[in-house]
A and B are shown apart, each in its own frame.
Chain A
Amino acid sequence: MENLMGFTSTAEVLRYLRQNSAAIGPEIILTIWAVGVLIVDLVNPLNKRFWLGLFSLLGIGFAGFNLYRLHGIEGTAFSQMVVLDPFAWFFKVIFLVAAALVVLISLKYLDIEEAQHGEYYALILFATIGMMFLASGIDLIMIFVGLELMAICEYVLTGYLKFRPRSAEAAMKFFLLGAFSTGILLYGMSLLYGLSGTTSLQGISDALSGVSSNQPALLLATILLVAGLGFKVAAVPFHMWAPDTFEGAPTTITAFISVGPKVAGIAVLLRIFVQSMETVRSDYTVLVALIAILTMVWGNVAAVTQNNVKRLLAYSSISHIGYVLVGVVAGPESNGVFAASYYLFAYAFMNLGTFAIVVLMRRQEIQGEEVNDFNGLFFKSPGVALLMLIFLAALAGIPPTAGFVAKFFIFSAVIDAYFRTTDSLMAVLAVIAGLTTIIALFYYWRIVKAMFLTEATDQVQTRLTPAMTAALVVTLVFTILVGIYPGPFVELARAAAAPLQ
């Protein structure tokens, strides 16, 4: 804070702003672009809102280019509020890619739903900004504001089809539980501030390093933080909102909230716990391990009985977060942070690919959300069915896809942690992760069976638009590439994990 006080001239203020804003260049570009989308929507020179999507894609592209140029640069800005490091960089790439893919799959979908408005794209951009600040925030205030920027935009997007009772209901449930979890998280943050006397993560780390881990207030703060972030990433037992929200939200937004907030939530979890709460390592490890076990078991078991594909994928995404949490438990010494980052990277592509197909199934009067709607897809559109097969194989973790390599790293991290600490908890985690992967095969198989082995119940074709094709090609290429040629991505994820070692 001290250099804020010491300004003597306007020139000095400007210099300070110029030096610091370089660190948040992509966020600034996206903010300008999001406001720009709203203004262009108002003026509406082209009379077709379709172009707004392409306009926001351009903004994401510029932000991505700016982010690319920031690669390898490290440092903090704005009085230790945000940090530019490989960890933040890696996660920002995931968020920008997810936002771009969601815009691509939305273009046609919004026309079908007759809800093509500029706010939609602006809100996606604002939510992405929130996620990016979450990945780079190193101060509790920054993390809180980033979290809320992301969450509030997502409440609105979930209720975007406001004349559909299901969309409004999904938004209501998401909002109530989201706001509740924010309150819980905030209360934990306030206790942490009281214990350490600072909101900066580095300061908290220093202040807590001498404190006994048995202090009740510290344990309470830890539990509240884990619970609050558990809500955000939809980990069992804090997952109740996820299936309802996933089912009721517009499918494109389901795709967005199945990737964005979860990846951002894990990024914050890693930042707060691995970076600044080393003192309570043994406590939060047990807590997160229990949550991971519950998440893997319940996510996979509950998915088996679902008939709605969006609900099924909601439980599937809950179970994936369980595997990521296993990586968090394994800890930085066993490359757990690397494994979790890598898993999230692979998960973003394979999950968005799967949802792109579900969006594609929405055609004419058919909602395309039930497993039955996939009946005989192979005989109508073999290409789409094969794509879905590849994405589902990736989600199930079958080689040679991204999902297999990601799961492999998680397993090797937790097994390494077992041999390093000889903690039987790690062995339990590894066994349960292995067993639940087998359950997962079963419910993904149900969709495959509907596509390939069941006769078609309707003859309505799926129609590929150029934007949808582009999204499918990108997700397909990365789902395969991350699986068969992991080298460069492993390098990136290793670099990302390095600041938290």
Chain B
Amino acid sequence: MIPASHYLILSALLVTIGVIGVLTRRNILIIFMSIELILNAANINLIAFSRQLQDVIGQVFAVFVITVAAAEAAIGLGIVIALFRNRETINADEIDLLKG
């Protein structure tokens, strides 16, 4: 059996990649994918702990997270399309109407 620590290291790596992606990438879709990585890192954590603790709640939590992430993806892509229709760009650096 793979020890829980391996899963936790994997999820820590994923969350790090995700945070770095959000902070450094300029394409909105890639920022969005990085956010999904963070959510899935949390899911791996929840399921690993759930197995470790022999407790089902972590898995239930993960199912909720997957559902909510799907809703969030739908809304997020809708906003990307609304923005693209207005500005014809999905580069975060060119989205600069609001500043002050």
Residue ranges of A at the interface with B (Cβ–Cβ < 8 Å):
1, 140-141, 144-145, 148, 152, 155-156, 159, 162-166, 168-173, 175-176, 179-180, 182-184, 186-187, 189-191, 193-194, 197-199, 243-244, 247-248, 306-308, 311
Q: How far is the CA of A371 from the CA of B36 in the complex (A)?
A: 40
Docked-complex contact A165 and B86, CB < 8 angstroms: yes
Contact check, A190 vs B46: say whether CB atoms are below 8 A apart. yes
Q: Is the CB of B75 within 8 A of A176?
A: no
For B87, list chain A residues within 8 Å (CB).
165, 168-169
Whether the Cβ atoms of A183 and B71 lie closer than 8 Å is no
Question: B86 touching A164 by the CB < 8 A rule?
Answer: yes
- Of the candidates A152, A186, A193, A197, the one whose C-beta lies within 8 Å of that of B71 is A152
B95 x A183 contact (CB < 8 A): no
- Main DSSP-derived SS at the B contact region: helix
Q: Is B9 an interface residue (CB 8 A)?
A: no
A183 partner, pick from B18, B46, B64, B85, beta carbons under 8 A: B18
Instruction: Indicate if the CB atoms of A176 and B68 lie closer than 8 Å.
Output: no
Q: Nearest Cβ in chain B — how far from A219, in angstroms? A: 15
Q: What's the minimum C-beta distance from A475 to chain B, rounded to whole angstroms?
A: 27
Give the residue of B49, B65, B85 whose beta carbon is less than 8 angstroms from that of A194: B49
CB pair B53 A168 closer than 8 Å: no
- Of B22, B41, B92, the residue contacting A180 (CB under 8 A) is B22
Contact B86 A168 (CB under 8 A): yes
Distance of B10 from chain A, by nearest CB (Å): 13
Do A191 and B45 contact each other (CB < 8 Å), given the known contacts A165-B87, A172-B83? yes
State in angstroms the CA–CA spacing of A440 and B53 once bound together.
Answer: 51
Chain B residues with Cβ below 8 Å from A169 are 83, 86-87, 95, 97-98
Contact with A along B52-65 (1 / 0, CB 8 A): 11010110110011
- Least Cβ–Cβ distance between B66 and chain A, in angstroms: 12
Query: Are the C-beta atoms of B98 and A187 separated by less than 8 Å?
Result: no
Known: A145-B64, A162-B82, A165-B87. A248 touches B98 (CB 8 A): yes
Question: Is the beta-carbon distance between A168 and B65 smaller than 8 angstroms?
Answer: no
Query: What residue in chain A is nearest B39 (Cβ atoms)?
Result: A183
| B75 and A156 form a contact (CB under 8 A) | yes
Give the CA-CA distance A198 to B8 in the complex, in Å: 18
Contact indicator B83/A193 (Cβ below 8 Å):
no
Given A159-B79, A243-B100, A172 contacting B42 (CB threshold 8 A): no
Q: Is the CB of B32 within 8 A of A176?
A: yes
Extra contacts besides A183-B38, A183-B41 (10): CB < 8 Å: A141-B57, A156-B78, A159-B82, A168-B85, A169-B86, A176-B35, A183-B39, A190-B45, A190-B46, A190-B49
